């Protein structure tokens, strides 16, 4: 039954950002143009922030956080619950922004809406899940207590590929636990990655100054947001090289880093091939392959390799690439020209490395930003298998047997997400336990990492974990307080 409640008036004012408790233009003297990656249409123009704006954001956050941390748990939980209701009321508006700004096809835009909504619901429970401890003491009359306190101010730096969720999975728990946040979204998605989220929080009644969104050039605020003395935690999702740079510049701060991936999806000789093909198609081509936990390599046992390849190519050939506004489109535009060029270079290099291209084609669309799905056969050494592609390019690798498949899966510097397919659950779990990754799925797509409450990587794929109980650990700190109830004798 359709609701009689009228849709709320759409948000506007995305040419300004919330800094220090009010919405205003940045002071850098430069303006960024936010465009639709499919049509090239200008969505908004934003006067950028500079280091002075960042200083103001941090100073206001530090001041506002003290009062916020002293609030009752119910006050902070209520903001998250109201934000969830606002998201639901504004679903069409939010989904449309994802399609227009990030180029997400409808299934990806709906998916991101759902997991961002889940972020708010999960965060509403955090104020009641913070627990202290009473520790034993070997001194008569002494009591040792450990309190969990918010860290203070958190810096969040988020990417463009799943912008709203990858911002909010840190912003929501940090705020719910009594912290303030300064958020720097990616330049390609300033609205969905930051400004739209800030509007939701503002409407939900979050006190001014607790969330600032700074949009600026990397050379103006990129280093400063990390090296600034105010934040105690830096939460970053993005590339491994940038993550390493943050680790060098952050100083004595707690870091939560989710970095690059090169996810293997392994198909063993007893797998349900039809099911494995479906999972591998979804796991590779969802959101044009622009997800860090996407399947980058498909490793298939030689006994079923040829049949798998035939079925896979047939399925991929039927995927529609084009306008993300059309409901049956699966593959929309690549986010920007630089990213598209990088994907094409990796495909060309893979062919030079000896890979056989079974499917592909040139970019299409109004501005030539839609890359059709590519399927290549190659070894683990070709460029599209050796490197994170971050685009609609699948590389299928033949493995001699299970042991060889495991060796191939682990032959990468990354260790984020992975999957294995087999009809034998025990075999799958034993295989998964040997994969060098933060997450391994048995008979499911790696993208279902996003349906879990906690995830993270190993090796070059990151540091720390996001979500669930880990979020409480990341955004709070222990404060040990001892109480001596009786007079004691001191040595001198």
pLDDT value for 250 = 87
Contact 329, 323 (CB under 8 A): yes
Please say whether the beta carbons of 184 and 156 come within 8 A.
yes
Instruction: Tell whether the model's pLDDT for residue 451 goes beyond 60.
Output: no
Percentage above 90 pLDDT, the chain: 83
Strand partners, 439: 417
Least confident of 110-114, 124-128, 328-332, 444-448: 444-448
Per-residue pLDDT reduced to its tens digit, 346-361: 999 999 999 999 999 9
Phi, psi at 31, each rounded to 5° = -125, 135
* C-alpha to C-alpha distance for 374 and 164, rounded to whole angstroms: 28
CA 312 to chain centre: 28
Rounded average pLDDT over 461-487: 83
Please state the φ and ψ torsions of residue 256, each to the nearest 5 degrees.
Answer: -120, 110
Residue 481: the pLDDT is 95
pLDDT at position 243, please? 85
The per-residue pLDDT for 337 is 96
Does 454 score more than 70 pLDDT?
Answer: no
Q: Residue 1: is its pLDDT beyond 60? A: no
pLDDT at 457: 66
Task: Note the pLDDT tens digit of each residue in 28-76.
Answer: 999 999 999 999 999 999 999 999 999 999 999 999 999 999 999 999 9
- Model pTM above 0.85: yes
CB atoms within 10 A of CB 349: 15
Residue 258 known to be catalytic? yes
3-state helix, strand, coil in the chain (%, to 5): 40, 20, 35
The domain limits of the chain are 17-259+461-478, 263-451
Residues 359-396 have pLDDT tens digits of 999 999 999 999 999 999 999 999 999 999 999 999 99
What is the pLDDT averaged over residues 154-174? 95
Using the predicted structure, report yes or no on whether residue 465 has a pLDDT greater than 80. Answer: no
pLDDT-based confidence at residue 292 (cuts at 50, 70, 90): confident
Quote the CA–CA distance of 415 and 462 in Å, as a whole number: 8
With 80 as the cut, is the pLDDT of residue 464 above it? no
Query: In 110-224, which ranges are E strands?
Result: 133-135, 142-150, 153-157, 180-184, 211-213
Say which of 122, 258, 388, 460 is annotated catalytic.
Answer: 258
pLDDT at site 211: 98
> Architecture of 263-451 per CATH?
3-Layer(aba) Sandwich (3.40)
Nearest alpha-carbon partner for 122 in 177, 161, 71, 70: 177
What is the mean pLDDT of the segment spanning 172-179?
A: 97
Looking at residue 2, its pLDDT comes to 45
Residue 488, pLDDT score: 87
Give the whole-angstrom CA distance, residue 208 versus residue 271.
54
Tokens 């800094």 belong to 19
**Among the ranges given (213-222, 371-380, 456-465), the one the predictor scored with the smallest mean pLDDT:** 456-465
> Which of 421-425, 452-456, 459-463, 464-468 is predicted most confidently?
421-425
Please name the residue that has the structure tokens 């400063």: 224
pLDDT class for 246, splitting at 50, 70, 90? confident
Q: With bands split at pLDDT 50, 70 and 90, how would you rate the model's confidence at 447?
A: confident
Do 17-259+461-478 and 263-451 agree at the fold level?
Answer: no
Question: Which of 101, 122, 292, 450 is flagged as catalytic?
Answer: 292
Locus of tokens 């939701």: 200
* pLDDT given for residue 444 in this prediction: 93
The larger pLDDT score, comparing residue 159 to residue 456, is at: 159
Question: Token pair of 246, please?
Answer: 């943050």
Can you point out the beta strands (E) in 139-205? 142-150, 153-157, 180-184
What are 478's strand-pairing partners? 148
Tell me, yes or no, if 341 is annotated catalytic.
no
Structural tokens at position 390: 């971050």
Placement of tokens 């790696």 in the chain: 446
93, pLDDT greater than 80: yes
| Least trusted range by pLDDT, from 84-93, 174-183, 447-456 | 447-456
What is the predicted pLDDT for the residue at 235? 92
Chain centroid, CA 450 distance in Å? 9
Q: Does domain 17-259+461-478 have CATH number 3.90.1150.10?
A: no
> 65 phi and psi, to 5 degrees?
-65, -35
């Amino acid at each position: 039954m359709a609701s009689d409640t009228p849709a709320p008036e759409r948000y506007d004012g995305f040419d300004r950002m919330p800094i220090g408790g009010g919405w205003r233009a940045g002071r850098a003297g430069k303006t960024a143009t936010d465009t639709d990656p499919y049509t090239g249409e200008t969505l908004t123009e934003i006067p950028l922030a500079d280091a002075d704006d960042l200083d103001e954001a941090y100073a206001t956050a530090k001041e506002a956080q003290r009062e916020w941390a002293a609030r009752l748990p119910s006050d902070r939980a209520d903001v998250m619950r109201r934000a969830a209701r606002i998201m639901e009321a504004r679903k069409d508006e939010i989904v449309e922004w994802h399609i227009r700004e990030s180029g997400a096809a409808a299934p990806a835009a709906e998916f991101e809406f759902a997991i961002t909504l889940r972020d708010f619901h999960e965060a509403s429970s955090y104020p009641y899940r913070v627990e202290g401890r009473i520790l034993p003491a070997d001194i008569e009359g002494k009591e040792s207590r450990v309190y969990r306190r918010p860290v203070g101010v958190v810096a969040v730096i988020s990417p463009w590929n799943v912008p709203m969720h990858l911002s909010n999975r840190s912003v929501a728990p940090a705020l719910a636990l009594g912290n303030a946040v300064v958020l720097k979204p990616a330049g390609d998605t300033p609205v969905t990655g930051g400004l739209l989220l800030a509007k939701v929080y503002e409407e939900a009644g979050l006190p001014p100054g607790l969330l600032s969104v700074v949009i600026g050039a990397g050379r103006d605020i990129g280093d400063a947001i990390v090296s600034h003395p105010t934040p105690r935690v830096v939460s970053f999702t993005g590339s491994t090289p940038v993550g390493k740079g943050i680790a060098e510049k952050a100083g004595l701060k707690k870091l939560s880093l989710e970095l690059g991936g090169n996810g293997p999806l392994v198909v063993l000789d007893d797998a349900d091939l039809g099911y494995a093909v479906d999972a591998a198609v979804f796991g590779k081509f969802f959101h044009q392959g622009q997800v860090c936990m996407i399947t980058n390599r498909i490793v298939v046992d030689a006994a079923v390799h040829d049949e798998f390849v035939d079925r896979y190519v047939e399925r991929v050939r039927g995927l529609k690439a084009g306008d993300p506004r059309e409901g049956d489109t699966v593959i929309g535009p690549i986010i920007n020209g630089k990213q598209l060029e990088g994907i094409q270079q990796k495909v060309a290099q893979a062919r030079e490395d000896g890979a056989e291209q079974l499917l592909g084609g040139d970019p299409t669309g109004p501005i030539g930003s839609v890359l059709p799905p590519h399927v290549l056969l190659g070894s683990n050494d070709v460029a599209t298998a050796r490197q994170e592609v971050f685009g609609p390019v699948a590389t299928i690798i033949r493995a001699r047997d299970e042991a060889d498949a495991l060796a191939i899966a682990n032959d990468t510097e990354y260790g984020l997400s992975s999957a294995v397919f087999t009809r034998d659950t025990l075999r799958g779990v034993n295989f998964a336990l040997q994969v060098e990754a933060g997450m391994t799925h048995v008979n499911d797509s790696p993208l279902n990492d996003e349906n879990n409450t906690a995830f993270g990587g190993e090796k070059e794929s990151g540091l720390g974990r996001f979500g669930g109980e880990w979020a409480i650990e990341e955004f709070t700190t222990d404060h040990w307080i001892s109480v001596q109830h009786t007079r004691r004798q001191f040595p001198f």
